[in-house]
Amino acid sequence: MTVKDFLKDVYKQGVYLRTLKTTKEKLLEDIASPKAMAYDDVKVDSSAQSDLSDKLLQIYAERDRLSEKILKAMAEVLERKKIAIELINRLTSYEERVVLMEHYLNCREWEDIARTMSYSVSRVYFYHGMGLQELRMLTGDVVVLGDSCENKRQ
């Protein structure tokens, strides 16, 4: 895998992880919110109460499934981020390290990075390009992943 492809993959996994966490938070909000349950159709009988209980059990099961998926994704992202940090820390330029870490590891947009660093977006792109070029030279443009990182998300 090339250096840029590896870093893009780390970025995408970070975004995916954030999406999973947001989904879980929204699900928990829905569970806690009285608005989440439709009371207008609920009749006062044992079958309606049973249906409501079944629905709550389904929601809790989905929450638990998402929690497990998040933990698995976090473990994979952590392994790849460790490799990425080791690679990026080999760069000689502070600016290049900051730009690559902020974008690929912290999933920040170019404009946010530019604003934080008090640079223009084009300057951030410049440091990004220079950092990638130096990493390509340092690694021969190949990132070798260990066995734990080879397994893709399910």
Task: Enter the tokens of residue 6.
Answer: 């590896």
Would you state the pLDDT for residue 47? 59
Would you state the pLDDT for residue 153? 36
Q: What is the DSSP string of 139-152?
A: HTT-----HHHHSP
**CA 99 – CA 95 distance, rounded (Å):** 6
**CA 54 – CA 51 distance, rounded (Å):** 5
In this prediction the pTM is 0.73
The rounded average pLDDT for each run of 10 residues, N- to C-terminus, in the chain (154 residues) is 94 90 81 57 56 79 84 88 95 97 96 98 98 96 71 37
The set of residues, in sequence order, having a beta carbon less than 8 Å from that of 93 and lying 6+ positions away, is 127, 130, 131, 134
